[in-house]
């Protein structure tokens, strides 16, 4: 009997910038971003992982270091070497090169928390709202490239027992058909520890904060955002607003 492979040809990694707390809003960072990065499995195996390994070999001599945007921005631990300006300059130049060549399609959901509170009397959980909005756009993209009936993993970091249970419930609700398209999505949730040396999650982590900063301070130079700007999902006419970047409300 012929066994049909139910798995699709793509992987989707999800990471966030900011928090989704609406009770205590940081006046310096009143935004929550959920970023979805889609990779073809072929490109992930043959380009993304090897390129990231080579990058790590160059600066650490091994590939066991886990990249975190926060630790690069404010060096500590494995990144203390970046307090040396020559090393930092070379590191960032190579990192920018790595990110520019990244073969990915991005969808970002940006929630302006103050505007969100002002718009809705009883606002829903920002994470769940962003998740539904992002998954809908990811599914539309996959369906448009012939992957709509295939099982695609959506890979996220674990955040704690309670948060993971809430995320799984929200994810299942969306994929069972409670979404703007009123149809089931063949997406599979995969939750892994923060300590996991996942190339996809590390790279997604590096791209989330630049999106938040672009929303908060659109006139400020933002090299990290400029590098990934052409990777966002776009309409046939080239429109990114609402397609690759959705700002809520």
- The pLDDT of 66-90, averaged and rounded, is 97
Q: Which residues of 107-136 are buried (b: 16+ CB within 10 A; e: fewer)?
A: bbbbbbbeebbeeeeeeeebbbbbbbbbbb
pLDDT tens, position by position, 201-218: 999 999 999 999 999 999
The verdict on pTM exceeding 0.85 is: yes
**Alpha-carbon gap, residue 155 to 11, rounded angstroms:** 8
Q: Is the pLDDT of residue 121 over 90?
A: no
Q: Which long-range contacts (CB under 8 A, 24 or more apart) does 181-184 make?
A: 181/136, 181/139, 181/140
**Alpha-carbon gap, residue 12 to 190, rounded angstroms:** 10
pLDDT tens, position by position, 52-65: 999 999 999 999 99
Task: Kindly list the structural domains of the chain, giving each domain's residue range(s) and its CATH number in brackets, ordered by start.
Answer: 10-65+102-248 (3.30.420)
- The pLDDT of 114-122, averaged and rounded, is 89
pLDDT tens, position by position, 4-15: 569 999 999 999
If one compares 1 and 22, the residue with the highest pLDDT of the two is 22
Peptide bond into 204 cis (omega under 30): no
Q: Is the pLDDT of residue 246 over 90?
A: yes
**For position 2, what pLDDT does the model report?**
53
**For position 123, what pLDDT does the model report?**
84
- The pLDDT of 19-41, averaged and rounded, is 95
Pairing of strands 10-17, 152-157: parallel
């Amino acid at each position: 009997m012929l066994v049909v492979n139910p798995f699709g040809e793509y992987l989707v990694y999800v990471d966030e910038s900011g928090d989704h707390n609406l009770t205590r809003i940081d006046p310096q960072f009143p935004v929550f971003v959920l970023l979805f990065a889609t990779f073809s499995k072929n490109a992930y195996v043959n380009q993304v992982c090897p390129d990231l390994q080579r990058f790590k070999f160059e600066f650490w001599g091994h590939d066991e270091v886990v990249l975190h945007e926060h630790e690069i921005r404010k060096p500590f631990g494995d990144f203390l070497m970046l307090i040396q300006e020559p090393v930092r300059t070379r590191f960032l130049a190579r990192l920018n090169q790595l990110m520019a060549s990244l073969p990915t399609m991005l969808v970002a959901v940006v929630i302006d928390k103050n505007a969100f509170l002002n718009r809705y009397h009883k606002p829903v959980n920002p994470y769940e709202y962003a998740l539904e909005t992002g998954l809908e756009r990811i599914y539309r993209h996959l369906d448009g490239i012939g992957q709509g009936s295939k099982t695609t993993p959506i890979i996220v970091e674990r955040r704690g027992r309670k948060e993971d249970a809430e995320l799984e419930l929200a994810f299942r609700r969306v994929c069972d058909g409670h979404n703007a398209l009123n149809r089931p999505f063949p997406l599979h949730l995969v939750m892994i520890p923060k300590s996991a040396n996942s190339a996809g999650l590390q790279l997604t982590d590096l791209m989330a904060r630049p999106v938040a900063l672009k929303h908060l301070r659109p006139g400020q130079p933002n090299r990290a955002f400029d590098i990934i700007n052409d990777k966002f999902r776009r309409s046939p006419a080239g429109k990114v607003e609402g397609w690759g970047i959705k700002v809520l409300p």
